[in-house]
């Protein structure tokens, strides 16, 4: 199968309209009318900012847009998964039907499809499950593609986010839902069952580093969707740089956010999604 295509996004933001908001425990799924956007590749992201009350007033709001993975595409719609973890995400979580949203994207490099008929294992932690939803849609559109979904959360409220994907096995830190323990324990079981796979992961940096280490030891290819603080989203500011194996740096917004695990010596502590 050839790589998933993705048209380059124009470097100008678009004013979109919120169609609705769905609550999934601690998370919000923001649905916006987005007819003219180039079709995103699974794993790409957009820079989002509320059209009103964004960027003025002492200690009110940040000026910079925030990066969010495209969680899903429907006809004429883009979906984004949000969690209120700071002033920027708080403002975005306040949006409702009819509100305006500035968006720039899709940006960055997305996932590559599995090769050699390997099965796909999707591993997501916390709000990092977002890009795995659109990835699952793309993978399941192929005939005879086996897709395994493993998701990890802190607690029961956040575990409600698992509804974003289909057929997921869930682990929680407190044991309130599913497996009581680390998500990587579920991954170890899957690789022991059949290591002929490609692992796709997005989540907190410690989880991504554990996935990278495990896959390297088992000689299993892995693609990691990283997160980092971004000021621009298209490679100009170098605010999201992470160390590259063998020296040098990669810009998460331009060389990623999806990066082959073999290109990384380790996953930096700042290069992961909130748990």
**Per-residue model confidence as pLDDT tens digits over 220-237:** 999 999 988 787 888 788
**Per-residue model confidence as pLDDT tens digits over 159-186:** 999 999 999 999 999 999 999 999 999 9
- Do 14-107 and 119-263 share a fold? no
> Quick count: other Cβ atoms within 10 Å of Cβ 166?
12
Pairing mode, strands 119-125 and 147-153: parallel
Taking the CA atoms of the chain, what radius of gyration do you get in angstroms?
A: 18
Q: Which of 243, 238, 245 is nearest to 268 (CA)?
A: 243
Question: Residue 143: which residues within 8 A CB-CB, separation 6 or more?
Answer: none
The mean pLDDT value for 137-154 works out to 90
Q: What are the residue ranges spanned by the domains of the chain? A: 14-107, 119-263
Whether residue 51 contacts residue 101, with contact meaning beta carbons closer than 8 Å, is answered with yes
Q: Quick check: 3 pLDDT over 90?
A: no
Question: Residue 241: which residues within 8 A CB-CB, separation 6 or more?
Answer: 228, 249, 250, 251, 252
pLDDT at residue 2, rounded to an integer: 44
- Span 14-107: which CATH code? 2.40.30.10
pLDDT at residue 37, rounded to an integer: 84
Q: Where do we find the tokens 């991954």?
A: 187
Fold designation for 119-263: Rossmann fold (3.40.50)
């Amino acid at each position: 199968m050839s790589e998933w295509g993705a048209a380059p996004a124009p470097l100008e933001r678009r004013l979109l309209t919120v169609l609705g908001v769905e609550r999934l425990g601690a998370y919000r799924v923001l649905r916006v009318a987005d007819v003219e956007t180039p079709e995103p590749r699974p794993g790409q992201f957009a820079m989002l900012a509320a059209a009103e009350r964004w960027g003025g007033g002492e200690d009110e709001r940040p000026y910079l847009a925030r990066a969010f993975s495209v969680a899903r595409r429907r006809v004429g719609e883009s979906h984004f998964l949000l969690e209120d973890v700071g002033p920027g995400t708080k403002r975005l979580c306040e949006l409702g039907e009819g509100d305006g949203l500035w968006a720039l994207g899709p940006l960055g490099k997305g996932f590559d499809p599995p090769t050699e008929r390997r099965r796909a294992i999707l591993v997501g932690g916390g709000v990092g499950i977002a890009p795995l939803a659109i990835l699952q849609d793309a993978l399941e559109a192929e005939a005879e593609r086996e897709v395994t979904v493993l998701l990890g959360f802190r607690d029961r409220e956040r575990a409600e986010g698992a509804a974003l994907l289909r057929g997921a096995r869930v682990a929680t830190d407190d044991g309130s839902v599913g497996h009581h323990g680390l998500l990587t324990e579920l991954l170890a079981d899957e690789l022991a069952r059949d290591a002929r796979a490609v692992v796709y992961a997005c989540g907190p940096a410690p989880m991504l580093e554990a996935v990278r280490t495990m896959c390297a030891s088992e000689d299993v290819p892995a693609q990691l969707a990283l997160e980092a603080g971004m000021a621009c989203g298209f490679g100009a500011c170098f605010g999201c740089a992470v160390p590259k194996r063998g020296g040098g740096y990669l810009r998460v917004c331009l060389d990623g956010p999806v990066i082959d695990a073999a290109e990384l010596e380790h996953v930096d502590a700042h290069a992961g999604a909130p748990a």
